[in-house]
Amino acid sequence: MEGIGKYLFWLGLLLAVVAAFLPDMTWIGMVLVILGLLMGIMRWGKSGDHGFILASLGLAASYAALTAIPAVGGYITAIMGGLWMMVGAALLVAVVKMLWDWGNM
């Protein structure tokens, strides 16, 4: 399953780049969310959720900071926005897992 998650991530990254240059393809956002949910579900039994949540917060912070780059800032933030759709969905699953684990202590 770990290999599948890696391929889903790379597919999502590719789709995020495509969506940045073709903004009329709005269906890509839904595909990124579905990929993120699948990636999060595949991580359900694994440890390291705290690091994943911290990395997700770093991604969100850098997303806001990169808009200041002239000429390419729009494309970079569009790519990061697509990536954030995917990571945000996986983050939702990780948070639900943490709450589930806390409830079952």
Q: How far is CA 49 from CA 9, 14, 92, 96, in A?
A: 16, 24, 11, 11
9's CB contacts (< 8 A; 6+ apart) are 35, 39, 86
pLDDT at 51: 79
Enclosing H/E stretch for 13: helix 2-21
Farthest-apart Cα atoms in the chain, separation: 51
- Predicted local distance difference test score (pLDDT) of residue 61: 82
**Within 22-72, where are the H helices?**
27-42, 49-65
pLDDT (0 to 100) of residue 58? 84
pLDDT, mean of each 10-residue run, the chain (105 residues): 79 91 86 92 74 81 77 81 90 86 79
Domain residue spans of the chain: 2-100
Angle between the N-to-C axes of helices 2-21 and 73-103, in degrees from 0 to 180, rounded to the nearest 10: 150
For residue 45, the model assigns a pLDDT of 66
